[in-house]
Amino acid sequence: MSDKILTTTAGAPVPDNQNSWTAGERGPLLIQDYQLIEKLAHQNRERIPERVVHAKGWGAHGTLKITGDISKYTKAKVFQPGTETPMLARFSTVAGEMGAADAERDVRGFALKFYTEEGNWDLVGNNTPVFFVRDAYKFPDFIHTQKRHPKTNMRSPTAMWDFWSLSPESLHQVTILMSDRGLPQTPMNMNGYGSHTFSFWNDAGERYWVKFHFKTMQGHKHYTNEEADQIIGKTRESYQEALFGGIEKGEFPRWKVQVQIMPEMDAEKTSYNPFDLTKVWPHSDYPPIDVGVMELNRNADNYFAEIENAAFSPSNIVPGIGFSPDKMLQARIFSYADAHRHRLGTHYESIPVNRPKNEVHHYHRDGQMNVYGGIKTGNPDAYYEPNSMNGPVEQPSAKEPPLRIHGDADRYSHRIGNDDYSQVTALFNLFDDGQKARLFANIAAAMSGIPQEIAERQLAHFDKVDPAYGAGVRMARQTMDGREPAISVTPQTPQQAAE
């Protein structure tokens, strides 16, 4: 017998949790059975909107330990030597819905929230150092091609390759996605990247550009498409099983944390735009510097409360860390907090998993889910600013140095003068013969059933990376000929749909 009494949410004891309150033994129900109504009403409200992208995810709590010394680049307390910061990670696939199978070929989200003593710093990255598009204007179009076709309600390879072949800036990310690293075995067996260029600034007010890397210490492990099919046939939750199960057993995954640092004025000199999210900074130019180790060592007690309710946003930075002119990053600074207000409610930062561990003082007021207990100023008379009521005041030392920008306002073409190929060539050259063969086969499989004109347009891009790339995919497509397409893709084009 439990020593805890079951209560209503209002705290009153529940006399019977088995039998509803009825008029006579055979019913009907009485509307005064508030406990029954409350139970049904709560069930109706158990679901919140799933994330519009990255809906399927797996997460855990952990620690970031700083072992290196990069204090000359940043004043951020989270990076000072010896600092240990509690953190939360959520990994995800991009396109699948909440119930999607884990072992699907897709980019993986790598979202981190560091509860620093100066506020939460969120790094909302992926397991790839680059992305499919470089202008945020294209992001919703891109995502529409990854989600379901509005008529068939199925994924459409035609839409994917149509968009990619018309957007050559996607080639770098498409190549990673179709390579071995596009299908990691578990979240522990992949790297994470901040992907964007961010900035560091130090006590002297000097700015440096920075890229963040999280290198798996468990080693890279991947599935082939065939292996993944086998896994999915057995379980849809292979990532959850591996991450949750591993941590329960005391096997704590770790990542080596590294940064690449670029002096501010170098951005004017590099042959590529260092704020272009489809590009990496070659390691030979900007060698990775070891900074510390991230370890995941605690499972959530409640998945919904701590992982589904987690709200990561690139807008969450702390003194010593800043943004960059990257157009994608700039849009994300808006988009995530907006998504959270829609998905979780106005005061989503007051949900325990999102709440900073330092004290929060602000003048935002009422609204849905304001569980702060009024405004957070420490004095009920200090509800506006400026005030003479000892309310919280700004801290000028948190002001970052000016961001150098120049140029006239215009809609500049992001396709003109951008080399979309040579970094993909560098990647292609890293692949051994086996990796290349799997790349070709994965692409051929993903392209099956798409219109020839779209395939030709994409093959021309592969040719520009390396003639062997295009030739390899052509050969793999021929080998595939005669086999059934993996996915039905009707209608393929607007014309075909109209026929």
Residues belonging to the binding site for heme are 336
In the complex, the smallest distance separating the C-beta of residue 311 from ligand HEM, rounded to whole angstroms, is 6
Q: How many residues contact ligand HEM, by CB under 6 A? A: 28
Rounded CA Rg of the chain: 26
Name the maximum alpha-carbon separation found in the chain.
85
In the complex, the smallest distance separating the C-beta of residue 30 from ligand HEM, rounded to whole angstroms, is 41
Residue from 100, 136, 232, 337 that binds ligand HEM (CB under 6 A)? 136
Residues of this chain, 466-485, that bind ligand HEM according to CB under 6 A: none
Q: Rounded distance, CA 247 to CA 296, Å?
A: 8
Please state the length of the chain.
499
Confirm or reject binding of residue 181 to ligand NDP (CB under 6 A): yes
Q: Given the complex with ligand NDP, which of 54 and 215 has the nearer CB atom?
A: 215
Residues facing 92 on adjacent strands: 57, 109
Q: Which residues contribute to the annotated binding site?
A: 336
159 binds, among ligand HEM, ligand NDP, none (CB under 5 to 8 A by kind): none
Catalytic residue, candidates 120, 126, 354, 442: 126
Residue from 217, 265, 426, 497 that binds ligand NDP (CB under 6 A)? 426
Contact segment (CB under 6 A) with ligand NDP among 63-71, 109-117, 428-436, 444-452 equals: 428-436
Confirm or reject binding of residue 221 to ligand NDP (CB under 6 A): no
Residue from 312, 348, 440, 462 that binds ligand HEM (CB under 6 A)? 312
Residue from 191, 199, 442, 458 that binds ligand NDP (CB under 6 A)? 191
Q: Rounded distance, CA 427 to CA 175, Å?
A: 8
125 binds, among ligand HEM, ligand NDP, none (CB under 5 to 8 A by kind): ligand HEM
Exposed/middle/buried for residue 269 (C-beta within 10 Å: 0-12, 13-18, 19+):
exposed
Contact 367, 343 (CB under 8 A): no
Q: Rounded distance, CA 128 to CA 184, Å?
A: 12
Q: Rounded distance, CA 235 to CA 115, Å?
A: 34
In the complex, the smallest distance separating the C-beta of residue 207 from ligand NDP, rounded to whole angstroms, is 20
Rounded alpha-carbon distances, angstroms, from residue 359 to 16, 306, 376, 378, 413: 42, 20, 9, 10, 44
Interior angle at CA 170, CA 169 and CA 175, nearest 5: 125
Q: Given the complex with ligand NDP, which of 240 and 273 has the nearer CB atom?
A: 273
280 binds, among ligand HEM, ligand NDP, none (CB under 5 to 8 A by kind): ligand NDP
Confirm or reject binding of residue 90 to ligand HEM (CB under 6 A): yes
Residue from 74, 165, 173, 179 that binds ligand NDP (CB under 6 A)? 179
CB contact set of 90 (below 8 Å; sequence gap of 6+):
57, 58, 59, 109, 111, 307, 310, 312
Confirm or reject binding of residue 142 to ligand HEM (CB under 6 A): no
Task: Show the tokens assigned to 466.
Answer: 């390396």
Confirm or reject binding of residue 438 to ligand NDP (CB under 6 A): no
Q: Rounded distance, CA 181 to CA 105, Å?
A: 9
Q: Given the complex with ligand HEM, which of 97 and 203 has the nearer CB atom?
A: 97
279 binds, among ligand NDP, ligand HEM, none (CB under 5 to 8 A by kind): none
In the complex, the smallest distance separating the C-beta of residue 109 from ligand HEM, rounded to whole angstroms, is 3
Q: Given the complex with ligand NDP, which of 98 and 426 has the nearer CB atom?
A: 426
Q: Rounded distance, CA 123 to CA 121, Å?
A: 7
In the complex, the smallest distance separating the C-beta of residue 171 from ligand NDP, rounded to whole angstroms, is 10
Contact segment (CB under 6 A) with ligand HEM among 122-130, 157-165, 367-375, 402-410 equals: 122-130
- Could you confirm whether 191 is annotated as catalytic? no
Contact segment (CB under 6 A) with ligand NDP among 57-65, 227-235, 275-283, 443-451 equals: 275-283
Q: Given the complex with ligand NDP, which of 118 and 180 has the nearer CB atom?
A: 180
Q: Rounded distance, CA 101 to CA 55, Å?
A: 11
The string of DSSP letters for 52-94 reads SSS-SEEEEEEEEEE-S--TTT---GGGSTT-EEEEEEEEEES
- Could you confirm whether 390 is annotated as catalytic? no
Task: Show the tokens assigned to 449.
Answer: 């059933």
User: Distance between alpha carbon 259 and the CA centroid of its chain, in Å?
Assistant: 19
* Sign of CA pseudo-dihedral 114, 116, 121, 127: negative
Task: Show the tokens assigned to 464.
Answer: 């520009």
Confirm or reject binding of residue 134 to ligand NDP (CB under 6 A): no
Residue from 85, 126, 158, 278 that binds ligand HEM (CB under 6 A)? 126
Rounded (10°) angle between helices 157-165 and 433-447: 120
Q: Rounded distance, CA 249 to CA 41, Å?
A: 38
Confirm or reject binding of residue 96 to ligand HEM (CB under 6 A): no
Confirm or reject binding of residue 195 to ligand HEM (CB under 6 A): yes
Confirm or reject binding of residue 57 to ligand HEM (CB under 6 A): yes
215 binds, among ligand NDP, ligand HEM, none (CB under 5 to 8 A by kind): ligand NDP
Contact 245, 252 (CB under 8 A): no
Confirm or reject binding of residue 181 to ligand HEM (CB under 6 A): no
Confirm or reject binding of residue 124 to ligand HEM (CB under 6 A): yes
Confirm or reject binding of residue 279 to ligand HEM (CB under 6 A): no
Q: Rounded distance, CA 456 to CA 364, Å?
A: 55
Known catalytic residues? 54, 126
| Contact residues for ligand NDP, defined by CB under 6 A | 129, 176, 179-181, 191, 215, 280-284, 423, 426-427, 430-431, 435
